[in-house]
Structure 1
Amino acid sequence: MTKRSDAITKGFERTPHRALLKSTGVPNDQMDRPFIGIASSFTDLIPGHTGMRDLERFIEKGVHTGGGYSFIFGIPGVCDGIAMGHKGMHYSLPTRELIADMVESIAEAHRLDGLVLLTNCDKITPGMLMAAARLDIPCIVVTAGPSLTGTGRNGRRFSFVTDTFEAMGQYKAGVIDEKQLFECEESACPTAGSCQGMFTANTMAVLTETLGMSLPRCGTASAVSSLKRRIAFASGERIVGLVRDQITPRQILTRAAFENAIRVDLALGGSSNTVLHLLAIAHEAKIPLPLELFDELGKTTPQLAHMNPGGPNFMEDLDTAGGVLAVLYQLRDQIIDNPTLLGPSIAQLIASVAEVDEDVVRPVSSPIRPEGGLAVLKGNLAPQGAIVKQSGVSEKMMTFSGRARCYNSEEDAMAALLAGEIVAGDVVVIRYEGPKGGPGMREMLAPTATLMGLGLGDSVALITDGRFSGGTRGPCIGHISPEAAQGGPIALVRDGDTIALDIPARSLELKVAPAELEQRRSAWRAPEPKIKTGWLARYAKVVTNASTGAVCNAD
């Protein structure tokens, strides 16, 4: 078998290369084995990643059992929860591009034959998948898994988002006292792992398995389970077979794979951030994937699970109910057969399902909602589209008309919320927070969670060219494109304007006469960039808007 690594191991002219490899400890008789990179995003900074040293060991064991030779290299990560609400959140989405670039750089520079991508949290998993699609060398993904829920008195279950961020608003409103707030802080994150609900990290883990890029149960198995160790071992073993058979990501990441992933996302009421990420991964895989497809599929894909933050079920419940395969089984008449890295196709895996807990993953005949969890809105306020997680919106707020209250940053909006300036009937407009304007399209969980904590979730809407956490619920519309920094219509909104939201009609309208809007447009001037130095200043110059996945243009 001709291998990529032959470029650094074969022939007399590679004597210096072999000498350097031997200096790392590679024995001479291992030079002919496939060289497998383990791209590990281990860090002490992220709860979802602190357990990865253990998983690295099991991946290594699997690689060597399978006949390969492994090399671990590091990939950075940002914890969105820790980066939330301050300058750090500017860096979160842009790290997706850095991660893809770093994996590409190491794999190409060292001529690795295959990769195991060890990941977990929000931007790290899509960044790894983007690299896999771009490189198109054998790759397999291991997502490290969710945390367990915390336990409290009277059987209460705690989770990070609903029991810390929303608790801030409840404390401010006097609903809970300081002792109860501290109990949330102590109980919300009891183990290592990604946040426990159907937030971005877990949604992406589920979609990675749906795409066929990780092994069954990988998307839902707990971070602290022995099953996760066994999946890590099996993934290490499997990557060597993928190298020998030359099975590469673009053979798996087909249009059918993306459609299946979108349907599973919709059925679970997953994070709105997955729209950005699936668009970006498809871009790297050279698969045309229009934003409108999410809405087209959403109208025919029922929501089958009621997952936290909008519902009572957590990732451990989904895993016990049958995991990703349970969702695929319930959607089987709409799922398109497609290959997976395991070997059996999606249809064959579905056929292996023996039982589904239908209290957690309902049948299509008895859905939570007749439509999927995400909706794409358009109108004169979002000509290129906007995203709402309709699975987290109450029936009362599916249609809403209110007064615009405009803020040019998350901080200004948050200050207004905490000062009690936002009242029933308002539409909070947060702009200049898009990919260019932010820069970095900050995730704004604090304002949305505060709205819910203050009891305004059924009387106030929030719209932005930024984005939201997977933990966001309520009438919150993000990804408005074009963004304000591009001169999009959201830049022209003024305090007191009427904004009309109609989710069933997929409409987001600014009730201002066209002539008045043109007059405002002629007077509009792009503001000074918020960040003028460093990597983010460069990022702002090349990033596209949310409707295309916020990808970076090579030109």
Structure 2
Amino acid sequence: MADGNGPTFEAIVGGDETISSMRTHGQGPQGELPLTDEILRHAPSGDLFGMTQDAGMGWRPEDTNLDQYLILSTLGGLRADDGRPIALGYHSGHWEIGLLVKEAATTLKQQGVLPFAGFCSDPCDGRTQGTEGMYDSLPYRNDAAQVMRRLIRSLPRRKGVMGVATCDKGLPAMMMALAGSGNLPGIIVPGGAMLPTKDAEDTAQIQSLGARFAHQLIDRDYAARMGCGSCGSAGGGCHFLGTAASSQVVAEAFGMALPHSALSPSGEAVWVDMARRSALALVNLAARKIPMRDIVTQASLENAMLVFAAFGGSTNMLLHIPAVAHAAGLTPPALEDWTRINKLVPRLVDALPNGPRNFPTVQVFAAGGVPEVMLHLRQMGLLDLNVMTVTGRTLGENLDWWQQSARRKAIKARLKELDNLAFDEIIMDADAARRAGLTSTMVFPSGNIAPQGAVVKATAIDPSVIDEDQVYRHTSRARVFVSEKDAIEAIKGQSDRPIQPGDIIVLIGCGPIGTGMEETYQLTSALKYIPWGKHVPVITDARFSGVSTGACVGHVGPEALAGGPIGKLRDGDVIEMTIDRRNLTGRIEFVGEGNERYTPQQAADVLQARPPHPDLKPADHLPDDTRLWAALQNVSGGSWAGCVYDVRKILARLGSV
């Protein structure tokens, strides 16, 4: 009988029936290793022992000296052969990618080489939203990139490496690892996108269930149904153009992934086939001695930023693209580079959540995905077409193929057949995009609250609060919070001072030093789906989800705990916000307190003289791992440098060589 509801004591401590089949010796593999006098005399002992282990794991002994290729992935969970879960993954994005690893490994084996697989799983920003797990989310990226680089180096005879990853931190980490692998051929296999459902809310909207229930906008039964049915497939990144999808787009735009691989529908035949073709491409890169450093270059970095702007992706890529550049030894983009690119490139893609029609990412793939967008950018003369890609050909050659390809015709026909949509309803040229009301996505406001800069996804501001001249203007009093928990309770009306329409939420102490730069989608999703939420802007030193909407100004630098002026704001301070969506400029300014109003210089002097907010401090349960990460990235330049580890700056600060 069970103790309470758990298993019995006997079940826990027993298992005697397994002892009778236990062995104390085993028969080694039969056969001979392909050893030569040269190998025995000159090869490292590790090579010989590695061959012994390869045979021990079941590989044919005579094939243990084949060229070695490493497949790294962020696989999570354990699936049965029929797809049913044995142990769940942290998120759907890494749940099915073992199928990609298997297909790639099988293909490599057919090519007469020796495949290896290594794994470094990743967390989920959605699962950790509003929890202390969020304190580990962004720091994980640097840790994982280090582990992945170590795994690559720990297979000394590898000829090439494939990185299979999907989501918010795992894929940026994989790009960092491969970009930093220098002379090694490599390729990224994006893990794809989840299929949307026709009878449920998307994975962005369901994250606001709690806030809508608190305001009696939905009932419990509705929440239960929607929460259950949002995922149209077991695997893949979320439906929207958030950080997961944006990372896939950027990997392909860099030339690190095959053409038309980003945003492929997870679990579908076209998705599995991508892994097969990527394995062939990797063998080709190794044969032709084309290393990753010839692909991730200053020119391909510019291309990636252009494509990212044309898609209108997640603001989190302001952290990840510089980190990939840093890993590759390139000059990372500065704030002025982001501004220049965003002014240069119109948004060409109508994808959830930036609208106006909000197509899910799988439909963006079916409209032609990254290469279709690149055709338009080529027509505008913006791309460097001479950069090398993982096909072994230049970007210009890839686009020449795509323009005339059977694949392009077939995918567009399938979109029309399944959804009765034309590809150019989703991916447009510049003129059509303007007629559809698409504008450049990001504005980088400055001001006395954000002297180092900040970012707002201007396209995500509700059009009804934008003036006719395409300028968002909002002046009001600040409601200052030092924790996301307190802010969400005030939004839900569960605090002594609930948020009112017109308030400006200022969330401080949530940058890298305070919380590991947590993502605050709890706040932005709640405000999106509460009727008056569009009248409540947010200013924070934290970051946002790629699906966040509203007048949300994040990445404010310096962060509060690094001495930033945002950390000196108080309840009742008057803040003036101006976001110009047409000219892509903006200001966020402290302009007064009480009935007093200041000139810009007076306001700056007042903030300078103030002490930090009395409640400002790092989160109570911030892990030591994250505190160390925060200190190292702060020395290295902080969030606007990509939250990287700049070893030279760190060693200089430590007084080391």
Give the Cα separation in 2 of the matches to 1:199 and 1:276: 13
- Aligned counterpart for 1:349 among listed residues 379, 398, 410: 398
The residue identity in structure 1 corresponding to 2:453 is G
User: Are the structure 2 counterparts of residues 405 and 384 from structure 1 closer, same or farther at C-alpha, using a change threshold of 3 Å?
Assistant: same
User: Are the structure 2 counterparts of residues 528 and 428 from structure 1 closer, same or farther at C-alpha, using a change threshold of 3 Å?
Assistant: closer
Residue 353 of structure 2: aligned partner: 309
Residue 148 of structure 1: aligned partner: 195
The residue identity in structure 1 corresponding to 2:399 is I
Matched, 1:122 2:168: yes
**Is this contact kept in 2: 1:59–1:233, CA < 8 A?**
yes
The residue identity in structure 1 corresponding to 2:645 is C
Report how far residue 295 of structure 1 moved: 1.4
Report how far residue 246 of structure 1 moved: 2.2
Unaligned runs of 5+ in 1: 1-6
User: Are the structure 2 counterparts of residues 182 and 8 from structure 1 closer, same or farther at C-alpha, using a change threshold of 3 Å?
Assistant: farther
Residue 328 of structure 1: aligned partner: 374
The residue identity in structure 2 corresponding to 1:390 is A
Give the Cα separation in 1 of the matches to 2:181 and 2:561: 32
Matched, 1:187 2:229: yes
Residue 453 of structure 1: aligned partner: 529
- Aligned positions of 1:487-502 closer than 5 A: 487-502=563-578
Give the Cα separation in 1 of the matches to 2:135 and 2:39: 39
Question: How much is the aligned-residue C-alpha RMSD, in angstroms?
Answer: 2.2
Report how far residue 198 of structure 1 moved: 0.6
For each residue in 1:149-180, what CA deviation from the matched residue of structure 2 results, as whole angstroms up to 9, or x when unmatched? 0111xxxx631012x12343333333322222
**Is this contact kept in 2: 1:36–1:70, CA < 8 A?**
yes
Matched, 1:361 2:427: yes
Give the Cα separation in 2 of the matches to 1:9 and 1:452: 67
- Aligned counterpart for 1:401 among listed residues 437, 455, 475: 475
User: Are the structure 2 counterparts of residues 10 and 59 from structure 1 closer, same or farther at C-alpha, using a change threshold of 3 Å?
Assistant: farther
Q: Secondary structure at the match of 2:390?
A: coil
For each residue in 1:15-69, what CA deviation from the matched residue of structure 2 results, as whole angstroms up to 9, or x when unmatched? 3343334333344443443211111211122211111221111010221233321
Report how far residue 266 of structure 1 moved: 1.7
Give the Cα separation in 2 of the matches to 1:466 and 1:8: 55
Give the Cα separation in 1 of the matches to 2:41 and 2:530: 66
Task: State the number of aligned residues.
Answer: 543
Residue 378 of structure 1: aligned partner: 446
Matched, 1:173 2:179: no
Matched, 1:517 2:607: yes
Report how far residue 533 of structure 1 moved: 4.9
Give the Cα separation in 1 of the matches to 2:521 and 2:383: 32
For each residue in 1:91-137, what CA deviation from the matched residue of structure 2 results, as whole angstroms up to 9, or x when unmatched? 11111111111111111122122111111010000000111111222
- Aligned counterpart for 1:43 among listed residues 54, 63, 76: 76
- Aligned counterpart for 1:423 among listed residues 483, 500, 506: 500
Matched, 1:291 2:359: no
Matched, 1:550 2:550: no
Report how far residue 255 of structure 1 moved: 2.0
Q: Secondary structure at the match of 2:429?
A: coil
Q: Which moved more, 1:408-417 or 1:291-300?
A: 291-300
Give the Cα separation in 1 of the matches to 2:330 and 2:257: 20
TM-score by length of 1: 0.93
Q: Secondary structure at the match of 1:503?
A: strand
- Aligned positions of 1:452-471 closer than 5 A: 452-471=528-547
For each residue in 1:489-513, what CA deviation from the matched residue of structure 2 results, as whole angstroms up to 9, or x when unmatched? 1101111112222222322222242
Report how far residue 553 of structure 1 moved: 3.5
The residue identity in structure 1 corresponding to 2:188 is V
Give the Cα separation in 1 of the matches to 2:438 and 2:127: 36
Residue 91 of structure 1: aligned partner: 136
- Aligned counterpart for 2:42 among listed residues 11, 14, 18: 11
Q: Secondary structure at the match of 2:479?
A: strand
**Is this contact kept in 1: 2:568–2:613, CA < 8 A?**
no
TM-score by length of 2: 0.79
- Aligned counterpart for 1:392 among listed residues 436, 460, 465: 460
Report how far residue 527 of structure 1 moved: 3.2
**Is this contact kept in 1: 2:526–2:533, CA < 8 A?**
no
User: Are the structure 2 counterparts of residues 529 and 316 from structure 1 closer, same or farther at C-alpha, using a change threshold of 3 Å?
Assistant: closer
Q: Secondary structure at the match of 2:69?
A: strand
Q: Which moved more, 1:356-365 or 1:469-478?
A: 356-365
- Aligned counterpart for 1:410 among listed residues 479, 484, 487: 484
Report how far residue 414 of structure 1 moved: 0.8
Q: Secondary structure at the match of 2:351?
A: coil
The residue identity in structure 2 corresponding to 1:51 is E
Report how far residue 88 of structure 1 moved: 0.5
The residue identity in structure 1 corresponding to 2:586 is R
**Is this contact kept in 2: 1:9–1:18, CA < 8 A?**
no
Q: Secondary structure at the match of 1:366?
A: helix
Q: Secondary structure at the match of 2:424?
A: coil
- The higher relative CO (CA closer than 8 Å, separation ≥ 6) is in 1
Matched, 1:432 2:432: no
For each residue in 1:195-238, what CA deviation from the matched residue of structure 2 results, as whole angstroms up to 9, or x when unmatched? 01111101111111111111122102100210111110111122
Report how far residue 301 of structure 1 moved: 1.0
**Is this contact kept in 2: 1:292–1:376, CA < 8 A?**
no
Give the Cα separation in 2 of the matches to 1:103 and 1:521: 42
For each residue in 1:246-294, what CA deviation from the matched residue of structure 2 results, as whole angstroms up to 9, or x when unmatched? 2122211122222222222222221111111001111111221213211
Unaligned runs of 5+ in 2: 1-37, 78-88, 413-422, 467-471, 593-602, 651-657
Matched, 1:108 2:146: no
Give the Cα separation in 2 of the matches to 1:117 and 1:41: 8
The residue identity in structure 1 corresponding to 2:521 is L
Report how far residue 8 of structure 1 moved: 9.8
Q: Secondary structure at the match of 2:177?
A: helix
For each residue in 1:379-406, what CA deviation from the matched residue of structure 2 results, as whole angstroms up to 9, or x when unmatched? 2111111111112112425222221110
Give the Cα separation in 1 of the matches to 2:297 and 2:555: 25
Matched, 1:261 2:304: yes
User: Are the structure 2 counterparts of residues 457 and 306 from structure 1 closer, same or farther at C-alpha, using a change threshold of 3 Å?
Assistant: farther
Give the Cα separation in 2 of the matches to 1:117 and 1:322: 23
Q: Secondary structure at the match of 1:428?
A: strand
The residue identity in structure 2 corresponding to 1:363 is D
Report how far residue 9 of structure 1 moved: 9.2
Give the Cα separation in 2 of the matches to 1:386 and 1:250: 31
Identity value in percent? 27
User: Are the structure 2 counterparts of residues 551 and 92 from structure 1 closer, same or farther at C-alpha, using a change threshold of 3 Å?
Assistant: same
In terms of Rg, which structure is larger? 2
Q: Secondary structure at the match of 1:383?
A: coil
For each residue in 1:506-555, what CA deviation from the matched residue of structure 2 results, as whole angstroms up to 9, or x when unmatched? 22222242331122048979735634654223222212321111112432
Q: Which moved more, 1:58-67 or 1:482-491?
A: 58-67
Residue 3 of structure 1: aligned partner: none
Q: Secondary structure at the match of 1:20?
A: helix
Report how far residue 375 of structure 1 moved: 2.0
Residue 4 of structure 1: aligned partner: none
User: Are the structure 2 counterparts of residues 57 and 462 from structure 1 closer, same or farther at C-alpha, using a change threshold of 3 Å?
Assistant: same
